[in-house]
Structure 1
Amino acid sequence: MKLLKSSLLGSAAAFAAVGAAHAADLPVKKAAPIEYVRVCSAFGAGFFYIPGTDTCLRISGRARFEGGYMTSNSRQAGSNAGDTSGYQGRLRINLDARTQTAYGTLRAFVRLDAGARTGYSGIGTSGTQVRIGQAFAGTGVDSAGRDIQQVNVDKAFIQFAGLTAGRASSFFDFYAHDFEITGNTLGSDNASTNLFAYTATFGNGLSATLSVEDPVFRRTPIFAPYSVNNSPVAPVVVAYNRGAPILVNSIDTVQRERLPDFVGALRLDQAWGSAQISAATHELNVGNIQTAVPAGANVNVAHTNSVQGWAVQGGLKVNTPFVAPGDALYLQGAYGEGAQLYTGYSAFSGSYAQNPSTIQGQKFSQFFSDATINPVTGQLQTSQSFTAVASYLHYWSPEWRSAFFGSYGEQSFGRGARFAQGAAYAAAGSSLISGPNAVGVPGTRFYQLSQALRDTYQFVAGASLIWSPVKDLDIGVEGFYTQIGLKSGRVIDADKNPGAYNAVASINNGTFVPRTATQDSVSQIRFRVQRDF
């Protein structure tokens, strides 16, 4: 028995040894090496190599909550008036990809913004964002005009060997509301436009840029007192009856996609701060005659020629660490002819219409048109605007900071433009002498009190307090005051007399005396919690 057991055990050991020997002769398949994400230190903190490439990528973003309050003295029926508060939640995702090449750094940057905004006041819905397709408005009974979902490709550009191509901030801009929560001061701030630019650097922080930019995001509507088939048109005199002008035609004022804007900037960046001088050209164009010329009329039709609007801007940023580390002062001024969005006169209310309201329940609307059409010559007359802004950022401590800011601006229409429009109204008859876009007939009381094409000014002042208890977290509040006013004369108070502009006959014959105003103002406050990562 012992002999049998020993034999079996010996046999098993022999088989095991033989099997091990054969296994040792077989090829061994090694596991594929794991390629861990490697830190890329060539472009600063946060970059890593995309596995399998020599491209470095940084992913960052932002989450934000805001709530706001704006005083309101109006709850007119059939409008959005009456809200005093609004709220929004927003997100941002950034992708920054860079590769070192023989020609320098090749960079692609993408930024996606999205958010949900409610409330006509406080945070407010943005007519400009709806106009250019960045926001989608709610349609419910209680949400129409008060609820907007926003999606915006804020940035999508390539940089290589001095070239910048894609969607980026305009090279015309300088201050661009850097120290503000709301961005309510006057001044150009076009953070998202399509462009193709070249920047040359000369050393010691000096650079020059020539940029070809999309004109659509800088357009304000050409003044048009009425519409035909939902197309805004401006009346012109094109026929004469025994020497007397007859208004028989209208020009389609919708601008066409023609020439791009040309922007040039000279910039200096040094340890003490920055300085920039920039200039831009902006084409204004309109369509042809909207309606047919009557048969037998003595016609003198002059095609409306396009004109080049233009703007210039100067800006200065001075770092003031001798007051407190991180402190800085911005000063900026701009002037434009037919280029109001380059001076940023309508920065707060936007230019989604030729006369949007800056204030809820506003007593009168400002007109932001870049030009009017002379009804006698049929040619464009540009408007003029200028803005000036100052903003100071102060750190009370590393965790607490405040911004103090203010701005002033004016917009004026071409000399004689309002009188010419009024004369055209007289020739046109009753269809063009009433309504909020009506200038009225010169010499009448309505002409004296109408709001259309009135030269205006705007003043803004405010301050903020922001607490950053930990890195990349801001909790802050901002309050500011906005005043708009007429440079001369008075206008009908549309809030106190909402139907006055349609009661033109009663105003002209003295049976109705409307309430009037010279200025209007509003105070606002906004609260923000923001986390950047």
Structure 2
Amino acid sequence: FVNVDKAFIQFAGFTAGRASSFFDFYAHDFEIISGTAGSDVASTNLLAYTAKLGDGLTATLSMEDPTFRKTGVYSPANGAIAAAVGSSTFATFGASNAPAPVFLGFNAAGVGTGIGFVDVVERNRMPDFVGALRYDAAWGSAQISAAVKDVNVGNFIPGSFLGTTGPGAGVPLTAANAAVRARVPTEYGWAVQGGLKLNMPYISPGDTLYLQGAYGEGAQLYTGYSAYTGSYISNTTSIQGSPFQQYFSDATLNPVTGKMQLSTSWTVVGSYLHYWSPEWRSAFFASYGELNFAPGARFAQGLATTIGGVTLAGSPGVPGTRSFLLSQVLRDSYQIYGGASLIWSPVKDLDIGIEGMYTSVGVQQGRVVDLNKNFGVSAAQINAGIAVRTVSSYDGGQVRVRVQRDF
């Protein structure tokens, strides 16, 4: 595995190549584990122009590689879909890897008469556009940045139509019935961030305080609400062995309307670096963040839980049932993170340090099934009233030792 960290050219205000995102500010400068909430894309492909507006004031406009900022659109993908539509075609392979169901027709009673599957793997159709206004002075720095990105999906997957009721049940997708729905329209996510850096030599030479906050819609990786176990996947556990997963998707595809619904997220972080002596220093840091899916998004996904008698395991379940109430899928969540470090630098460019952190993750409302204590319990069993253990949050800690030599 080879990774190019930085490789860029700067000339006459232009920056071209691979560099840190101009949206970022604090970017975990004082941390070893780098677990606080906040944007940190240290290596991305970009083309930017920076203009000097006056004493320490600069403005930057940057086009950046969108790949590094896509968390993905939610998909209840699982092998059950292949069983529903047949498993011998190339189209089914696509359906079983990244599909999201959309109703293609309704009967007089308003019941969906067919389901098509949309390939929700995001495409790179345009660069992300980032703008930043920054001020640097002897006392520190301040920055306001903003970003706009597209959130898009593919087309209906040929051959993956499944009629569910009445005439036409099981009929494959054709040009005629695919035209019932137009292509899913592209949505545009955005984020804003403000940051302040204060130099505090009056406490001790080298002391520095960072404060930062961000808010975004359909742009979770810009606000930095993610998990250090995997920021680019739509659901993961932030702590090994945790009782439920968090969901990080930038959007969900509504199976009734055929339109995307963007999630929102926000984060705040503070970090303070203190020098006890020229050889000894400590960092203290904490953050808080929340992610909320669009109103009604989870309910809409539950309407497509069962397709042709096949239950999609990635679905939150049928609305109104006990399993839906206790499901971990697409739950609004929060994160609390805090930690501190002690680092010794006996000689120049050599750091020997230890860092400890604490994190707490929870759902914002209600409770979910504790998967560690109810392993293998099905939705049908939960709806039948079986006793299950539930949980609303989990926490954990980590300690890491690091020896670093810079050349």
The alpha-carbon deviation at position 298 of structure 1 amounts to 10
Residue of structure 2 in register with 1:51 after alignment: none
Q: Which whole-Å deviations, capped at 9, do the CAs of 1:294-351 have from their partners, x for residues lacking one? A: 4796973132100110000000000011110000100000001000000010052323
SS in 2 for 1:231: coil
Residues 239 and 524 of structure 1, relative CA distance in 2, 3 Å threshold: same
Q: Are the counterparts in 2 of residues 240 and 297 from structure 1 also a CA contact under 8 Å?
A: no
Asked if 1:491 corresponds to 2:368, the answer is: yes
Question: TM-score when scaled to structure 2?
Answer: 0.90
CA RMSD of aligned residues (A): 1.6
Count of residues in correspondence between the two structures: 378
Could you tell me how far apart the structure 1 residues matched to 2:216 and 2:70 are?
A: 13
Q: Are the counterparts in 1 of residues 156 and 178 from structure 2 also a CA contact under 8 Å?
A: no
Residues 298 and 527 of structure 1, relative CA distance in 2, 3 Å threshold: closer
Q: Are the counterparts in 2 of residues 418 and 439 from structure 1 also a CA contact under 8 Å?
A: yes
Aligned to 1:341, which of 221, 232, 236? 221
Once the two structures are superposed, the pairs formed by residues 358-437 of structure 1 within 5 Å of their partners are 358-426=238-306, 428=307, 430-433=309-312, 435=313, 437=314
The alpha-carbon deviation at position 352 of structure 1 amounts to 3.4
Q: Are the counterparts in 2 of residues 186 and 348 from structure 1 also a CA contact under 8 Å?
A: no
Q: Percent identity?
A: 61
Residue of structure 2 in register with 1:269 after alignment: 136
Residue of structure 1 in register with 2:39 after alignment: 188
Could you tell me how far apart the structure 2 residues matched to 1:367 and 1:241 are?
A: 33
The one-letter code sitting in structure 2 at the alignment partner of 1:251 is V
Asked if 1:173 corresponds to 2:24, the answer is: yes
Q: Which whole-Å deviations, capped at 9, do the CAs of 1:91-123 have from their partners, x for residues lacking one? A: xxxxxxxxxxxxxxxxxxxxxxxxxxxxxxxxx
Once the two structures are superposed, the pairs formed by residues 56-67 of structure 1 within 5 Å of their partners are none
Q: Are the counterparts in 2 of residues 225 and 432 from structure 1 also a CA contact under 8 Å?
A: no
The one-letter code sitting in structure 2 at the alignment partner of 1:491 is V
Q: Are the counterparts in 2 of residues 186 and 389 from structure 1 also a CA contact under 8 Å?
A: yes
Could you tell me how far apart the structure 2 residues matched to 1:197 and 1:170 are?
A: 10
Asked if 1:304 corresponds to 2:184, the answer is: yes
Could you tell me how far apart the structure 1 residues matched to 2:380 and 2:368 are?
A: 16
Residue of structure 2 in register with 1:332 after alignment: 212
Q: Are the counterparts in 1 of residues 374 and 389 from structure 2 also a CA contact under 8 Å?
A: yes
Residue of structure 2 in register with 1:114 after alignment: none
Residue of structure 1 in register with 2:101 after alignment: 235
Q: Which whole-Å deviations, capped at 9, do the CAs of 1:175-200 have from their partners, x for residues lacking one? A: 00001011110000000100000000
Which structure 2 segments of 5+ residues have no match?
A: 79-91, 162-170
Residue of structure 2 in register with 1:523 after alignment: 397
Could you tell me how far apart the structure 2 residues matched to 1:363 and 1:252 are?
A: 30
Bigger Rg over Cα? 1
Q: Are the counterparts in 1 of residues 227 and 236 from structure 2 also a CA contact under 8 Å?
A: no
The alpha-carbon deviation at position 203 of structure 1 amounts to 2.5
The alpha-carbon deviation at position 366 of structure 1 amounts to 0.3
Could you tell me how far apart the structure 2 residues matched to 1:429 and 1:334 are?
A: 43
Asked if 1:162 corresponds to 2:13, the answer is: yes
Could you tell me how far apart the structure 1 residues matched to 2:51 and 2:261 are?
A: 36
Could you tell me how far apart the structure 1 residues matched to 2:215 and 2:242 are?
A: 26
Could you tell me how far apart the structure 1 residues matched to 2:32 and 2:5 are?
A: 18
The alpha-carbon deviation at position 282 of structure 1 amounts to 1.0
Residues 399 and 431 of structure 1, relative CA distance in 2, 3 Å threshold: same
The alpha-carbon deviation at position 250 of structure 1 amounts to 1.2
Aligned to 1:313, which of 169, 183, 193? 193
Could you tell me how far apart the structure 1 residues matched to 2:231 and 2:158 are?
A: 27
The alpha-carbon deviation at position 204 of structure 1 amounts to 1.0
Q: Are the counterparts in 1 of residues 144 and 194 from structure 2 also a CA contact under 8 Å?
A: yes
Could you tell me how far apart the structure 2 residues matched to 1:200 and 1:391 are?
A: 29
Which structure 1 segments of 5+ residues have no match?
A: 1-149
Residue of structure 2 in register with 1:223 after alignment: 74
Q: Are the counterparts in 2 of residues 240 and 298 from structure 1 also a CA contact under 8 Å?
A: no
The one-letter code sitting in structure 2 at the alignment partner of 1:151 is V
Larger relative contact order (Cα-Cα within 8 Å, sequence gap ≥ 6)? 2
The one-letter code sitting in structure 2 at the alignment partner of 1:152 is N
The alpha-carbon deviation at position 496 of structure 1 amounts to 1.6
Residue of structure 1 in register with 2:380 after alignment: 505
Once the two structures are superposed, the pairs formed by residues 16-35 of structure 1 within 5 Å of their partners are none
Aligned to 1:257, which of 124, 127, 133? 124
Q: Which whole-Å deviations, capped at 9, do the CAs of 1:385-419 have from their partners, x for residues lacking one? A: 00100000000111110000000000000010001
Q: Which whole-Å deviations, capped at 9, do the CAs of 1:443-473 have from their partners, x for residues lacking one? A: 1111011111000000000000001111111
Could you tell me how far apart the structure 1 residues matched to 2:308 and 2:398 are?
A: 43
Aligned to 1:245, which of 95, 107, 112? 112
Q: Are the counterparts in 2 of residues 188 and 347 from structure 1 also a CA contact under 8 Å?
A: no
Could you tell me how far apart the structure 1 residues matched to 2:262 and 2:136 are?
A: 34
Q: Which whole-Å deviations, capped at 9, do the CAs of 1:55-112 have from their partners, x for residues lacking one? A: xxxxxxxxxxxxxxxxxxxxxxxxxxxxxxxxxxxxxxxxxxxxxxxxxxxxxxxxxx
Residues 181 and 155 of structure 1, relative CA distance in 2, 3 Å threshold: same
Question: TM-score when scaled to structure 1?
Answer: 0.69
